[in-house]
Amino acid sequence: MKGCLLPLVSLLILSSALPAAEITTNTGPRSIPELQAAIEAILKDTRTPGAAIAIVSRNQAEWVAGIGKADVAANQPVTTNTLFRLGSISKSFAAVAALQLQEAGRLKLSDTVKQWVPDVAFVNPWEATHPLRLVHLLEQTTGFDDRF
């Protein structure tokens, strides 16, 4: 596994559960078993029943695991096949991808939505003066209602 991947993932996971003083002095897990033990401790401390974990490099999954319970009442464990609802986290993934594309010069957040998806029909009475832009999609300020 790449040397910088495990410490980065460990820091991201542990930063949500440890006080700032501990983060700066804790070197974090150095192996998959240590990482799994740290995740198990966080799940216990936060009373989170279970989690699915995946560490993926450019070409392959380095570690995929289910930890804890998918169904506490039925005593069913989380497995690598357990489905979780993504909820609003997918918005963050889309925003990061858009920012990476902007950084690479492949799009601008100021581009209009019509430039990228001209076949998507939507009504914008102010299109001539205030067109819908990609940034509006990321900010969730498009003005779309549930009927769109």
Could you give the dihedral angle defined by the CA atoms of residues 84, 88, 92 and 93, in that order, rounded to the nearest 10 degrees? Answer: 40
Written as one string, the DSSP assignment of 4-46 is THHHHHHHHHHHTTS-HHHHHH-----SHHHHHHHHHHHHHHT
Annotated catalytic residue: which of 15, 16, 57, 88? 88
Q: Reply yes or no on whether 88 is catalytic.
A: yes
* Burial class of residue 53 in the structure, from the number of CB atoms within 10 Å of its CB (0-12 exposed, 13-18 middle, 19+ buried): middle
Whether 131 contacts 112, CB under 8 Å: yes
Which residues are catalytically annotated? 88
